[in-house]
Amino acid sequence: MLDNGQKREKLVEVSDLKMHFPIYAGLFRKHVGDVKAVDGVSFDIFDGETLGLVGESGCGKSTCGRAVLRLYDITSGSVKIGGREIGATPQGDLRKMRPTMQMVFQDPQASLNPRMTVEGIIGEPLSEHTDLDRKGKLAKVHELMDAVGLNRAFSSRYPHEFSGGQRQRIGIARALALNPKFIVCDEPIAALDVSIQAQVVNLLEDLQKKLGLTYLFISHDLSMVRHIADRVAVMYLGKIVEVSPRDALYSDPLHPYTKALLSAVPEPDPDVTTDDRVILQGDVPSPSNPPKGCNFCTRCPAVMDICHENEPEFREVSPGRFVACHHHNETTN
Amino acid sequence: MLNYTLRRLMFTVPVLLFISFIIFIILDMAPNDPTGNLPMTIPPDVREKIRESLGLGQPLPVRYFKWCVQFFINEPLNIIDKMFDVCTWGCEDRLRVRSWATRSPVVDLIVERMPQTLWVVGMSYVVGIILAVPIGVISAYKQYSWFDQAGTFVSMVGFSVPSFFSGVLVIVIFSVQLGWFPSIYDTTLKVVDWDTFMMQIRQMVMPVMVLALQTTAQISRFMRASMLDNLNMDYVRTARAKGMKETTVLLVHVLRNSLIPVVTVIALGIPAIFGGAIITEAVFKVNGIGQLLIIGIQGADIPLVQTLTFIFAVLIVMFNLIADILYGILDPRIRYD
């Protein structure tokens, strides 16, 4: 496959990214703590690949995706896109870089301005970042609508006049308008019907092949990620616990959390026994007050004493496979 | 949209007739007496004759019908006569709605008083909106900043301090202590040159200030709340992700969507301008519509009060319709077909 052998260029490099949201409480709104939504995340995305980012809801996937594009002002860490550091760039300067990095949002209803027509929505970035005239802009809008499979005749309609799948296509066309290299897909299919999900995912794949796009594909749907991603990152409580090539991760998960997550995927064959499922007990700890040591130590089926004491290091245990777990620290030591 | 408007207009006719009847009944049941302000020396049987000459001897349905004929047929015909300088049917001795106290036609009284009210109350509304929209936008954009806190405080003051207090307060400060502005509004002033124009401005400042404080307080709160609703919407994040300028995000995406409910509030507030500001007009001696209404109520001048109240009702119904239509124009998600 693509990722075998040849070394490819890193398009996105994220290291030790932290996004903390302050909590204010009390009479004088004192700063009493932080919600550590993303707490020291590092990963790379190679040019032209799809990195799947999975994890249960509330683990910080979406925040991570938005922080990578600097839709938030991040707490600390570094984000490099195409070799340029954007971790601390002020929002004003970031504006000129937006054409290379775009986002497809989760909720196709809420993420489109209800008072703009499709033409306005797709065409707005063009009038901001290019100097096409009216005609050129309309031609480009029509071209984009063709690319995502929308009828050109719909260009003067409003978002509420479309179905969910069509709206997500508008969102994708909008993201494509400026020929970006890198697109963060923030659960682009979570709000859609299963039948439409496949269409949208196939559209994203086709566009990737045609335009050489790089995706960060955020999802909680493991089978969809298996379908689209080249490599998969697993997130738990603000941290990445494992990054592996797709096939290796699905056949031989290293981290106990990944094992639990994979064993929770529904099995369509009724004769296959499900007794060997790893069922996690308890709830995810609060991200404002994560446990000492490993974040997963409160629910881990293979917990050891050291897990309550020290935070495991995120390290490469075999070529291309990274994991943060004390079990794998030992084997390599 | 046109169909919708026509259908709504059709419905307003029975609604307004019903309202006029209700007003008539309420005024008839009111325990005041049009001869009550006359000298005590007038004997009771003379008072009774006066009442009968005013038409009060007739039963209620007859009186209501006569008012309807006078208001809905004779007055419009009279306006046509005046406008085109012609004489339609019965122009010599046409019965008009006459005030009992002044014996002059009510419509003429209203026309006389309208300019003062429109100038003072209308100007205060315009000033209030011009101030309120930016205040609301900045307050929401910089939520909990000192500007927002100050804006919240001023709105609270504007909401809670009644105009009979703030009016007297500004008179004490600006005309008694500082002597900058006259405390009484002079209606006889004619604007002919620069000096009289400045005079007009100076006498308008205080009543406009008092009324604008209330309007600003109300609308800036609406504006702020509506902006806050929209600022957190996903499409605002989309606009930022597109790489739009912050001013574009704020003024094109957020403000336009936030203005929809605010425009409705503003449109619904316009009839109140024509209604005048009863208390503020009294404080500054502006002889506008509000003052006319108060005089009418005091003197039990039923035709005057009936006609004025009914005109307010018409305005309220019309501006409700206008607000609904505006809503449909501004928000493409709302269609009335």
Cβ–Cβ contact B256 with A under 8 A: yes
B133 neighbors B223 (Cβ within 8 angstroms): yes
Contact yes or no for B332 and A160 at CB 8 A: yes
Contact yes or no for A99 and B241 at CB 8 A: no
A12-26 pLDDT tens trace: 999 999 999 988 887
Residue A173 and residue A140: Cα distance in Å, rounded?
Answer: 10
Contact yes or no for B240 and A71 at CB 8 A: yes
B109-330: CATH topology: MetI-like fold (1.10.3720)
Torsion B83-B84-B85-B88 (CA) sign: negative
Question: Among A309-318, B90-99, B254-263, whose mean pLDDT is lowest?
Answer: B90-99
A5 pLDDT higher than 60: no
* Separation of CA B38 from chain center: 32
A185 DSSP β-pair partners:
A104, A217
B22-33 pLDDT tens trace: 999 998 888 877
For the record, the structure tokens of A239 come out as 């941290």
Identify the pLDDT of residue A216. Answer: 94
Residues 6+ positions from B325 with CB-CB distance below 8 Å: B1, B4, B5
Identify the pLDDT of residue A12. Answer: 92
Nearest to A180 by CA among A125, A237, A243: A125
| Residue of chain A with shortest Cα separation from B259 | A115
With a cut of 0.95, is the ipTM above it? no
Contact yes or no for B241 and A113 at CB 8 A: no
A160-210 pLDDT tens trace: 889 888 999 999 999 999 889 999 999 888 888 888 888 889 999 999 999
Q: How far is A98 from chain B (nearest CA, A)?
A: 5
* Mean pLDDT along residues B308-330: 89
A196 neighbors A185 (Cβ within 8 angstroms): no
A45 DSSP β-pair partners:
A12
Cβ–Cβ contact B257 with A under 8 A: yes
Question: Among A223-227, A280-284, B301-305, B331-335, whose mean pLDDT is lowest?
Answer: B331-335
Residue numbers in A near B235 (CB within 8 A): 110-114
| Partner residue facing B234 (CB), from A110, A128, A158 | A110
Contact yes or no for B241 and A107 at CB 8 A: no
Contact yes or no for B332 and A114 at CB 8 A: yes
Alpha helices in B97-170 (DSSP H): 106-117, 123-141, 146-160, 163-170
Higher pLDDT, residue A28 or A104: A104
Residue numbers in A near B257 (CB within 8 A): 113-115
Identify the pLDDT of residue B100. Answer: 83
Identify the helix (H) or strand (E) that includes residue A52: strand A50-54
Residues 6+ positions from B217 with CB-CB distance below 8 Å: B154, B155, B156, B157, B158, B159
A96 pLDDT higher than 70: yes
Identify the pLDDT of residue A7. Answer: 61
Amino acid letter at A206? D
> CA angle B259-B263-B264, nearest 5°?
125
Does residue B242 sit in helix, strand or coil?
coil
Q: What share of chain A is helix, strand, coil (3-state, %, to 5)?
A: 35, 25, 40
Residue A321, number of CB atoms within 10 A of its CB: 18
Residue A169 and residue A148: Cα distance in Å, rounded?
Answer: 6
Residues 6+ positions from A124 with CB-CB distance below 8 Å: A116, B239, B242, B244
> In a mutagenesis test of the B interface, which of A62, A70, A111 is the best target, namely the one with the most B β-carbons within 10 Å?
A111
Question: Among A24-38, B113-127, B212-226, whose mean pLDDT is lowest?
Answer: A24-38
A192 neighbors A168 (Cβ within 8 angstroms): yes
Contact yes or no for A69 and B241 at CB 8 A: yes
B229 neighbors B258 (Cβ within 8 angstroms): yes
Q: How many CB pairs under 8 A join A and B?
A: 71
| Residue of chain B with shortest Cα separation from A107 | B234
Contact yes or no for B241 and A98 at CB 8 A: yes
Q: Environment class of residue B109 by beta-carbon count within 10 Å: exposed (0-12), middle (13-18) or buried (19+)?
A: buried
| Residue of chain A with shortest Cα separation from B334 | A160
B224-256 pLDDT tens trace: 999 999 998 889 988 988 888 888 899 889 998
| Partner residue facing B238 (CB), from A96, A111, A158 | A111
Chain A positions with Cβ closer than 8 Å to B: 66, 69, 71, 91-92, 94-99, 102-103, 105-107, 110-115, 124-125, 128-129, 158, 160, 171, 174, 178
- The rounded mean pLDDT for chain B is 87
B294 pLDDT higher than 80: yes
A333 band by pLDDT with thresholds 50, 70 and 90? very low
In chain B, % of residues over pLDDT 70: 98
- Domain-wise residue ranges, chain B: 109-330
A128 pLDDT higher than 70: yes
Torsion A322-A323-A324-A327 (CA) sign: negative
B271 neighbors B155 (Cβ within 8 angstroms): no
Residue numbers in A near B243 (CB within 8 A): 94-99, 125, 128-129, 178
Contact yes or no for A95 and B331 at CB 8 A: no
Identify the pLDDT of residue A310. Answer: 87
| Partner residue facing B233 (CB), from A96, A110, A171 | A110
| Residue of chain B with shortest Cα separation from A157 | B332
Does residue A210 sit in helix, strand or coil?
helix
Residue B49 and residue B72: Cα distance in Å, rounded?
Answer: 28
Identify the helix (H) or strand (E) that includes residue A23: strand A10-25
Residue A309 and residue B306: Cα distance in Å, rounded?
Answer: 84
Greatest CA separation for chain B: 85
| Partner residue facing A111 (CB), from B234, B330, B332 | B234
B242 neighbors A128 (Cβ within 8 angstroms): yes
Identify the pLDDT of residue A83. Answer: 86
Q: What's the 3-state SS for B40-58?
A: CCCCHHHHHHHHHHCCCCC
Question: Among A162-171, B91-100, B287-296, whose mean pLDDT is lowest?
Answer: B91-100
Backbone φ and ψ for B54, nearest 5 degrees, come out as -80, -5
Identify the pLDDT of residue B139. Answer: 93
| Partner residue facing A98 (CB), from B233, B242, B333 | B242
* Mean pLDDT along residues B146-172: 91
Residue numbers in B near A124 (CB within 8 A): 239, 242, 244
A249 band by pLDDT with thresholds 50, 70 and 90? very high
| Residue of chain B with shortest Cα separation from A129 | B243
Contact yes or no for B235 and A112 at CB 8 A: yes
For the record, the structure tokens of B268 come out as 């619904």
Identify the pLDDT of residue A64. Answer: 93
Residue numbers in B near A102 (CB within 8 A): 241-242
| Partner residue facing B332 (CB), from A71, A125, A158 | A158
| Partner residue facing B243 (CB), from A110, A113, A128 | A128
Cβ–Cβ contact B239 with A under 8 A: yes
Residue A158 and residue B328: Cα distance in Å, rounded?
Answer: 14
pTM above 0.95, yes or no: no
